[in-house]
Amino acid sequence: MKNLPRLLLAFLILSFGFSDFPQAQDQQGFINLDCGLQPNESPYTEPLTKLTFESDANFIKTGKSGKIQNVPGMDYIKPYTVLRYFPDGVRNCYTLSVIQGTNYLIVAMFTYGNYDNLNTHPKFDLYLGPNIWTTVNLQRNVNGTRAEIIHIPRSTSLQICLVKTGTTTPLISALELRPLRNDTYIPQSGSLKKLFRLYLTDSKDIVRYPEDIHDRLWSPFFMPEWKLLRTNLSINTSDNDYDIPEDVVTTAATPANVSSPLTISWNLETPDDLVYAYLHIAELQSLRDNETREFNISAGQDVSYGPISPEEFLVDTPFNTSPVKCKGGTCHLQLIRTPNSTLPPLLNAIEAFTTVEFPLSETNENDVIAIKSIETSYGFSRISWQGDPCVPQQFLWDGLTCEYTNLSTPPRIHSLDLSSSELTGIIVPEIQNLTQLQKLDLPNNNLTGGVPEFLAKMKSLSDINLSGNNLIGSVPQALLDKVKKGLKLNIQGNPKLCSSSSCNKKKNSIILPVVASLASLAAMTAVVAFLFVRIKRGPSSRKGPSPSQQSIETRKRRYTYAEVLAMTNNSERGLGKGGFGMVYHGYINGTEEVAVKLLSPSSTQGYKEFKTEVEILLRVYHTNLVSLVGYCDEKDHLALIYQHMANGDLKKHLSGSSIMSWVGKLNIAVDAAQGLEYLHIGCKPLIVHRDIKSSNILLDDQFQAKLADFGLSRSFPVGDETHVSTVVAGTHGYLDPEYFQTNRLSEKSDVYSFGIVLLEIITNKAVIDETREMPHIAEWVKFMLTRGDISNVMDPKLQGVYDSGSAWKALELAITCVNPSSLERPNMSHVVHELKECLISENKRTRNIDTSRSLDINLSFGTDVNPKAR
């Protein structure tokens, strides 16, 4: 505890610094929210930065105010005396007005401060619109954390959402937006998540607003291996597009050994992160005629830039226009003196970012405006009506269904159900602005006035329920005409409403129900007829239709059975056996290794599963899915030809004598999770695998994991439903118990199965073992964890060689995945993110480089900027 005041002091330094600030500059476009501040205390001017903060009460509908506790010896200063916490709902969102297409620096601050006297630090996800931005982990960063991103909003409204992912309560301390120039910080795609922002100096001062007109926070950094340059002369920063503060570039570092490069290294959260670096360089010396300073910039074998000769007292900002992937997740940036140079390289300041992709498109802007206008007009409030109405799908607003075309197309609202919502007043005209609306349900409210004629003009509308209200007058003739053409209209329970202009209530009050009933009867008749035909035909034969009857469209090559026999040398070398049949090793053109799966006469699977697998693998591609090379569909001979996976399936390695390291296990888990995530959110319609198990996870020659066997997979309906009802299929032990009991299949069924696989990976135990007190692996692990010791749960082959923090995190994630209730399970995006954090923790322990001389990036205040020279 004795270090706590020092850490808190670092927290405040990073927020405000110790410099004496001049008078505040123009804050135009700034948004400064002190979260949890009471409206009657707003606004106020923060005394050090002169920034004007206001209460967040007008920017969010939910949450409660809390006050952090003072720590002895430390007096908190605004804006960190209060916070807003969110005990209710899963997703709580701020809505901010922004300028569409403008580049913004967005900063969110979080500190717990034991405001609730529970001493329970929270962990939750932070979303930018419909896409995840980062995970806020105050269990790891107990003294507070800061999330920063540079992002261009796609509309005039920006939503920042806190999403509950476990049992702890999300909270936020401050939210800040600063507009940047639109010609700066532009990645090829995505947004820029800050790793660090440093100026090289022996000073202790943080530089921020008002010296930096964009309120970027510059942290001081210097290494003993460097030599400091400093000037008292003026530096020309006005010609620099990045508006670099002069205080940041009046110092610079050069290597003390003039023949050595200047090197900065840092570690990434995941090896696949893509990096942008912005170097701010100005010559601080007046060079003599016989002096030159010239150097190249290198970031690995494939990335180099230069030569650069800094101009005297003028700032230049070279940066990589394409993102760089650092080998092994460790970046090495070097400034290397050229043979022509008499002076060593020089660097004044540096910023580094990783890219964050935001693949999900926001709901159609006109639909969003319309649905919010409807909410305002009726004056009701639902806690789920926050953030984007349609995406992500797990946070779909109550009462809505949406159409999802693909990731890049904005979803459209297709149905609106405000049944029993205590609505009063008329049927508001804003409804007609939902131009793709197909179904409108407003029954059992207190609506008055007439049935509006605009409902007849809504071309997509096919189902209207206005029953149980107090509507009056006559139903418009245009609407009655549409009923005759198939529109379903229910107006029962409106005693003062007539179904025609003659107001013959007795006669006409039954017209519409009869029409609706006839339409329903016709639909039911069609369904019964369809089922009768299906039953009469009997179950499909194993062979299924011939190619001429039901062809499979494919760009892949279709092989004859003779060619299949040739490529496998008459099925000479077997690789294994699955539900479909035997798998054989083969070659195409004598060079390309393949695995050939032949349908066995005794197989429980047949043409339906064969066709399903071919069709799915034709329309999906991901590095963590096994690729289809070709197929054979010749009478009784069915075969699937895949890329060869040299290391077989995961189950073989878990059950055999193989010894995998903890980092190896985590890499396989991340690979498999990414493949499943792609099926769930990267495919439209989404695909549920239905048979996730360790034997369906294959490993290539580099031990990269890929999902296989899509014969039982199902494509989900688009739009209306979050599940499908289907005959239960899957493998005992891995099968979602909720799906088994209800026949209701959703992507969360895959999450359960993946959780079982993750427990297999962690424990190296059989899924079902009747000799255990708890035969099923999930129940056994839960039982063992009640003792609070993971050593008896972890794979004994690891011999205790693993990071305990990442092990606990992986176990907790697996237990969450196998929750009996699908609603309590995470989605696969969250699973991927958590597993990558486990991998980061383990990589830090196992990394071969000298970690005391490298940069470990995290979001903690006071510790997020520690690069080292090499």
What residues act catalytically? 691
Query: Is residue 94 classed as helix, strand or coil in its secondary structure?
Result: strand
Task: Report the alpha-carbon distance of residue 827 to residue 130 in Å, rounded.
Answer: 14
Q: Kindly state the greatest CA–CA separation across the chain.
A: 107
Among residues 7, 16, 358, 363, which one has the least CA distance to residue 193?
A: 358
Query: Is residue 507 classed as helix, strand or coil in its secondary structure?
Result: helix
Please report, for the chain, how many H helices and E strands are present, in that order: 16, 46
Residue 77 makes CB contacts below 8 A (sequence gap 6+) with 12, 16, 46, 47, 48
The response to whether 597 counts as a known ligand-binding position is: yes
Task: Report the alpha-carbon distance of residue 194 to residue 143 in Å, rounded.
Answer: 19
DSSP secondary structure, 743-786, as one string: -EE-HHHHHHHHHHHHHHHHH---SB-TTSSS-BHHHHHHHHHT
Report the DSSP beta bridge partners of residue 230: 251
Among residues 508, 418, 425, 421, which one has the least CA distance to residue 471?
A: 425
Could you tell me if 356 and 185 are in contact, meaning their C-beta atoms sit under 8 angstroms apart? no
Among residues 673, 746, 735, which one has the least CA distance to residue 704?
A: 673
- Written as six digits, the tokens of 211 are 């010296």
Could you tell me if 520 and 491 are in contact, meaning their C-beta atoms sit under 8 angstroms apart? no
- Written as six digits, the tokens of 706 are 């890929």
Residue 850 makes CB contacts below 8 A (sequence gap 6+) with none
Q: Give the residue carrying structure tokens 């379903």.
A: 488
Residue 404 makes CB contacts below 8 A (sequence gap 6+) with 390, 391, 393, 411, 684, 685, 718, 719
Task: Report the alpha-carbon distance of residue 512 to residue 497 in Å, rounded.
Answer: 12
* Angle at the Cα of 685 from the Cα atoms of 683 and 686, rounded to 5 degrees: 60
Residue ranges for the binding site for ATP?
Answer: 597
Q: Which residues are annotated as a binding site?
A: 597
